[in-house]
Structure 1
Amino acid sequence: MNAVGAVRTTGIYCRDDCPARPLPANTTRFPFAAAAEAAGFRACHRCRPYRRDLAAADGMPELVCRGVRLIAGGALDDATEGSLADRLGVSPRHLRRVFLQYAGVTADQLARSRRAHFARRLLDDTDLRVADIAFAAGFGSVRQLNRVLAEVFRATPRELRARRRAADRLRADGGLAVRLAHDGTLDFADALRHLSARATPAVEAVDGGTYRRTILVDGDPGMIEISRRSATELLLVAHLPRLDGLIHHVGRARRIFALDEPGAPYGAWDPFEARVHDVVRSGVPDAAAARAVMGDLARRFGTPVPGLGPAGLSRTFPRPGAALLRSLSALDLADV
């Protein structure tokens, strides 16, 4: 999904579905856009490959796939290659060698490209200030954002925003709208049926063609809405108390619909929530009864969220805590 073709005669790299059809003899394949960028190629203005999210590629060693998944989850946003190597159980030198061999770039370069691409999408899709975009995309400062965009796209944020097309800017009735691009294989109606059947009452709701849920942003509540925009895009509308770390919320939204792993089960917002679902459903085979248990846990331990009653939402999902864990361990699921 992430592989691109770089045209040596033009210095541009494209997605495989780009309307431009360069001669194969003039094209060099790269496993990731970051590798094409590191080789000196720039992104095509027609197919805009920076709109794709980072995902592990088929045929790569499991070590690289695990590393890519961790990077896509933000593992290098506030850490070093050395810490990533520790998580993967290898030396930093080995990690760098394997990434260069199979991904075409180091882990750090891949993470930097991911943040730059997300910032570029926000420049296209929104009217956010450059300072807000810097922190939403995981950069430590506007200066860092400017430097990385100049390296990756050879332009300033102002110049990149001036290039966007009239139809690029997304509009939403409140909230911040962001595209969630995918490969077109998603059965959105099936995904909504699945998510509706397992939705935690007061935390998640499916209404018509829209999935909604509450989330926590550094302890403060927010809400996201996801609907179908086109055959290859979902539309995320985020209502957040702050934009810092928006790139992480977008990644979690993608995992709910398994956009980067076509055919995989639809997911939960985070690993803890997924684990609680598994514990409850392992003891409550009946789906309706399991939802009732989940709703009770949300009402007892979730953070109240005012003003979302019309959307069927009133709590955030509980966070890990002694009271909740005692409740789960003491729950006599056989009597439910």
Structure 2
Amino acid sequence: MHTDFDRCVRAVHSKDARFDGWFFTAVLTTRVYCRPSCPVVPPKERNMTFYPSAAAAQQAGFRACKRCRPDAAPGSPQWNERADLVARAMRLIADGTVDREGVGGLAGRLGYSTRQIERRLLAELGAGPLALARAQRAQTARVLIETSDLPMADVAFAAGFSALRTFNETVREVFALTPTDLRARAARGRGPATPGTLALRLPFRAPLCPENLFGMLAATAVPGVEEWRDGAYHRTLRLPHGQGTVALAPRPGHIDCRLALTDLRDLAGAISRCRGLLDLDADPEAVDERLRADPALAPLVDAAPGRRVPRTVDGEEFAIRAVLGQQVSTAAARTLAARLVAAHGEPVTPPEGGPGAGLTHLFPSTEALAALDPAALAMPAGRRATLVRTVQELARGELALGVGSDRSRARARLAALPGIGPWTAEIIAMRALGDPDAFPATDLGVRRAAARTGLPATPAALTRHAAAWRPWRAYAVQYLWSADDHATTRMPA
């Protein structure tokens, strides 16, 4: 979009927050870059130029606006909607792959050469993987500076900087403030924090309907791993460098996020996973406009616009839970998963008074489950066989469900697994792979809602009708489910 100068100018003059994260406005006279919705008086058109990413603006020598904080804008919805190489690369960079494994590791995960990755990212985003990772490190550093009392040397290390000098130079270059000045500015408006806990706000594009989002997470929460308590969803996190716990709660204009991590190097990845879990980078205006065009869906959309797709923080965990939940009730699926957690999960010790204080375990890792004697899994033989095959595929890497996974390849592997039917494959595509067009047409709730709203009720006919909803059929499912009075469609009291 950044190449459409006139459209970008109109968005800036109207201060349209829908375009935050889609592009960034750089002001040639002040050398500052902003969100489209920045509240300051827009510059003259001849002094504007536009960039597709914060990293590109920073690389061109612009610093972040202190007023609108463009480095903290919602991410572009393209990286969740699209399934191509650039989108997969951006999801992996957000998860911290470049910081952990370098550009070579990123290329290896994507199955391309480093030169191909760099060329594609530069062509579309104006910045290569190192510059994109550097921009993310700067934002991670800012979060740690402003929300913790860590010494600056510890902040630099946790944010991924190899040297304190590089950290200081980057912060000054990007934010036009020293790390000490950033902390002093933030401290003036910050309340007391729980020791060992990072408190931050996760932005999103309005509108956002929290009912189905938190209702689904709370209704399907696995005891010991997840819980709904004090108006927030709490869960444990398995992260590359250690463990974590998080509490997420809806607030006007943002999601309140409280994180406790055993290793602060996991901060950027933890934030990225929480944003993915709640689908915070979606573009609800585009989704709802398409779905509202169907007279059968329009009343559901108008009743509660901005529904998101509840996803997951761990694709492998979700696939295992989806297999456990085949052909059983939500309560029975929770019971089966809780038994698996109690027997084979990894214990955690959340900070006292911090997020997840009542939680006890991480969900069992794929490696731990792959090492089990199948006879130890107390469930019907058919489901046990499907679970064992799924775990084996995940452990061998034949079935990849991480943030940068190839969705088409993952779907093909799922379809080839005995015991994985269309419903399970589509639910995994929707919530583990983040496919915005996943469509479980055989789902009982979807079919019941379709019949109630005058849509075709048979899977084949409904699938044909739903072609007009593409590429947002996963969101149509959320609206159809809302037609049912079920715990998963309403936020707990």
The TM-score bracket by the shorter chain reads: 0.7 to 0.9
What's the CA shift for 1:172?
3.3
Answer yes or no: is 1:160 the counterpart of 2:182.
yes
Greater per-residue helix proportion: 2
Counterpart CA distance in 2 for 1:92 and 1:62 is 16
What's the CA shift for 1:270?
1.4
What's the CA shift for 1:100?
1.4
Q: State the one-letter code of the partner of 1:32.
A: S
Answer yes or no: is 1:199 the counterpart of 2:221.
yes
Counterpart CA distance in 2 for 1:286 and 1:61 is 32
| Aligned counterpart, 2:31 | 11
Higher Cα radius of gyration: 2
Match among 271, 278, 301 for residue 257 of structure 1: 278
Stretches of structure 2 lacking an aligned partner (at least 5 in a row): 1-19, 284-306, 385-493
Decide whether aligned partners of structure 1 residues 303 and 62 sit closer, same or farther in structure 2, where only a CA change above 3 A counts.
Answer: closer
Query: Deviations along 1:145-181, whole A, 9 cap, x unmatched?
Result: 22432443344322333443622x3543442212222
Verify the 8 A CA contact 2:224 2:358 in the aligned structure 1.
yes
Verify the 8 A CA contact 2:35 2:70 in the aligned structure 1.
yes
Verify the 8 A CA contact 2:241 2:266 in the aligned structure 1.
no
Verify the 8 A CA contact 1:149 1:156 in the aligned structure 2.
yes
What's the CA shift for 1:218?
6.9
What's the CA shift for 1:273?
1.2
Verify the 8 A CA contact 1:14 1:43 in the aligned structure 2.
yes
Counterpart CA distance in 2 for 1:269 and 1:170 is 29
Q: Secondary structure at the match of 1:164?
A: helix
Verify the 8 A CA contact 2:59 2:127 in the aligned structure 1.
yes
Q: State the one-letter code of the partner of 2:52.
A: P
Verify the 8 A CA contact 2:241 2:263 in the aligned structure 1.
no
Counterpart CA distance in 1 for 2:361 and 2:108 is 37
What's the CA shift for 1:31?
0.8
Map 1:264-275 onto structure 2 (within 5 A). 265-275=309-319
Map 1:1-336 onto structure 2 (within 5 A). 1-2=20-21, 3-22=23-42, 23-52=44-73, 54-55=75-76, 57=78, 62-164=84-186, 166-167=188-189, 169=190, 171-174=192-195, 175-216=197-238, 222-228=244-250, 230-261=251-282, 265-281=309-325, 283-305=326-348, 312-320=358-366, 321=368, 322-324=370-372, 326=374, 331-332=379-380
Q: What percentage of aligned pairs have identical amino acids?
A: 37
Query: Deviations along 1:270-312, whole A, 9 cap, x unmatched?
Result: 122122122212x233111111111111111112346889955
What's the CA shift for 1:19?
0.5
Decide whether aligned partners of structure 1 residues 10 and 219 sit closer, same or farther in structure 2, where only a CA change above 3 A counts.
Answer: closer
Q: Secondary structure at the match of 2:359?
A: coil
Verify the 8 A CA contact 1:126 1:170 in the aligned structure 2.
no
Q: Secondary structure at the match of 2:362?
A: coil
Counterpart CA distance in 1 for 2:276 and 2:49 is 31
What's the CA shift for 1:264?
5.4
Counterpart CA distance in 2 for 1:116 and 1:181 is 17
What's the CA shift for 1:104?
0.8
Decide whether aligned partners of structure 1 residues 325 and 145 sit closer, same or farther in structure 2, where only a CA change above 3 A counts.
Answer: farther
Question: TM-score of the superposition, structure 1-length normalised?
Answer: 0.86
- Computed over aligned residues only, the root mean square deviation of the Cα atoms, in angstroms, reads 3.1
Comparing 216-225 and 126-135, the one that deviates more: 216-225
Q: Secondary structure at the match of 1:244?
A: helix
What's the CA shift for 1:24?
3.5
Decide whether aligned partners of structure 1 residues 54 and 335 sit closer, same or farther in structure 2, where only a CA change above 3 A counts.
Answer: closer
How many residues matched?
A: 333
